[in-house]
Amino acid sequence: MTAAENDTNSELRVLTIDIGGTGIKMLTIDGEGAALSARKRELTPKPSDPDRVLGVICQMIVEQRPFDRVSVGFPGVVSRGVVKTAHNLGTEIWRGFDLQSAIAEHTGKPTRVANDADLQGFGVIDGKGVEIVLTLGTGLGTALYVDGHLVPNLELAHHLLKDNRTYEDLTSDAELKRIGKEQWSEHVALVFEALEPLFNYDIAHLGGGNARHFTGQLPDNVRLFQNVTGLAGGIRLWQDWQVS
């Protein structure tokens, strides 16, 4: 990484892309994380193979130019820009795909790719103490930070929580539609009950498209955030690049 690549002045324009199991979101931000364009959203194509997803992204990018760099959040484990898992898109068709190089080639701009919850968390954390981020969407995204430093690719979603069911089984969009908001919200509350004594976090940040459906009472140390706020994390991938 060159000094120029790590320059994050306010004139820098970073295209931030959030790839989800249901939708692909896109926003151009400046070096302070402020929006420079309207947030764009398109449905994630089905099947969600790399060619189709890249095709949608390329169409969406036209309305976001100009930009200097690209930050991408992907719903799975990503190591040095290469996809390792993609539970809600299809792991077998994504495993080993160098998404970072592919988007850099399409855009002609320096690109960095990270787990989607990791990227969104960078947009909302305080940077003090232990903070955890949960995103409720097609599945469940999780991210962990200690004094602003990321512990990359935390995949609690697929860990067993109750009755041989995972965190994601209990809080997914499919489960919300199956059992309704009230019971689903109880499942979300159960996740916090499990995580607080495990990580002893100072603050938990709750976002994602389905966070708005939570009907219960959140603990005092849990904050809600909007997706557009999380997209501001795209600039942090250039300020504090430490994603494996």
pLDDT score recorded for residue 9? 61
Q: In this model, does residue 109 exceed pLDDT 70?
A: yes
| CA-CA-CA-CA dihedral for 70, 41, 115, 194, to nearest 10 | 150
- Supply the pLDDT for residue 227: 82
What does the pLDDT average to over 3-26?
79
Does the residue 220 lie in any domain?
yes
Neighbour-count burial of 215, counting CB atoms closer than 10 A to its CB (0-12 exposed, 13-18 middle, 19+ buried): middle
CA distance readout (Å), 75 to 44, 138, 152, 172: 12, 10, 13, 13
Q: Is residue 4 part of a domain?
A: no
Same domain, yes or no, for 132 and 212?
A: yes
The pLDDT score that the predictor gives to residue 10 is: 64
Average pLDDT over every residue of 176-195:
96
Q: What is the pLDDT of residue 53?
A: 97
Residues 111 and 192 in one domain: no
User: Do the domain assignments include residue 6?
Assistant: no
Domain annotation covers residue 219: yes
Q: Say yes or no: 47 and 105 in one domain.
A: yes
We report the CATH number of the domain holding residue 167 as 3.30.420.40
Residue 163 domain-assigned (yes or no) = yes
pLDDT digits (tens, 9 = 90+) for 37-64: 888 999 999 999 999 999 999 999 988 8
Kindly report the number of other CB atoms within 10 A of residue 66's CB atom. Answer: 9
Q: Are residues 160 and 205 in the same domain?
A: yes
pTM here is: 0.90
> How many distinct structural domains can be found in the chain?
2
Q: Tokens for 156?
A: 């609690």
Is 9 a member of any domain? no
Q: Of residues 9 and 116, which shows the higher confidence score?
A: 116
In a domain, 187, yes or no: yes
Q: Are 187 and 162 part of one and the same domain? A: yes
Question: Which pLDDT tens digit goes with each residue over 54-100?
Answer: 999 999 998 888 999 999 999 999 999 999 999 999 989 999 999 99
Q: What is the Cβ-side half-sphere exposure of residue 183, based on CA atoms within 13 angstroms?
A: 9
Per the structure, the complete domain to which residue 213 belongs is given by: 126-224
Residue 136 lies in a domain: yes
Tell me which DSSP letter residue 219 carries: P
Digit-coded pLDDT (tens) for 129-179: 999 999 999 999 999 999 999 999 999 999 999 999 999 999 999 999 999
Residues 102 and 36 in one domain: yes
Residues 98 and 178 in one domain: no
Q: Are residues 217 and 234 in the same domain?
A: no
Task: Give Dmax (Cα) for the chain.
Answer: 52
Comparing 5 with 61, the larger pLDDT belongs to 61
Report how far residue 21's alpha carbon sits from residue 48's, in angstroms, rounded to the nearest whole number.
8
Q: Same structural domain for residues 49 and 91?
A: yes
Amino acid at 99: L
Q: Which amino acid is at 36?
A: L
Are 52 and 66 in the same domain? yes
pLDDT value of position 1: 38
User: Same domain for 234 and 207?
Assistant: no
**Same-domain pairing of 115 and 173:** no
Q: Which residues of 135-170 are buried (b: 16+ CB within 10 A; e: fewer)?
A: bbbbbbbbbbbeeeebebbbbbbeeebeeeebbbbb
Count of beta carbons in the 10 Å neighbourhood of residue 110: 17
Percent above pLDDT 90 for the chain: 80
